[in-house]
Amino acid sequence: MHAFDVLGDPVRRRILELLAGGEKTSGAVCEAVTAEFGISQPAVSQHLKVLRENGFATVRPEGARRLYAVNSAPLKDVDAWLDRFRGFWAQPLDALATELARGRRERRLRGADDPPRSTP
């Protein structure tokens, strides 16, 4: 399965978001995803399996529990692929940053020219 096929599913993206905060038990993932998407525990398990089999998540047993975590390697591959397209949005973002800095500077300069306010 291609990385974007894996990441194209909103449930799997949400699972990765949850795991990005650190290891989670399958029960904790299931509870959060079931509450948000209204899907069953077996459906969540299938999504975890897809993530695991495609290298996006790892699992390790801890007693009777299974702890899931993000595996960053496939995400680095996705990031490298997206790198070709960053130029499409990098320049507009740089222009936005310039305008924001200009606005902050103007507000700061206006603030220096304002007379001090007296407190009643």
Q: How many CA atoms lie within 13 A of 56 on its CB side?
A: 25
Same domain, 59 and 18: yes
Q: What is the dihedral of CA 13, 16, 20, 21, to 10 degrees?
A: 90
pTM over 0.85: no
Query: What residue numbers bound the domain in which 107 lies?
Result: 75-113
CA 38 – CA 31 distance, rounded (Å): 10
> Do 66 and 88 have their domain in common?
no
Q: Cα 82 from chain centroid?
A: 15
In this structure, is residue 12 part of a structural domain? yes
Q: Which two tokens stand for residue 73?
A: 């390697």
The tens-digit pLDDT sequence of the chain (120 residues) is 788 899 999 999 999 999 999 999 999 999 999 999 999 999 999 999 999 999 999 999 999 999 999 999 999 888 888 888 877 766 766 777 888 888 898 888 888 666 555 555
Is 53 found in the same domain as 9?
Answer: yes
In a domain, 119, yes or no: no
Residues 89 and 45 in one domain: no
CATH code where residue 45 lies: 1.10.10.10
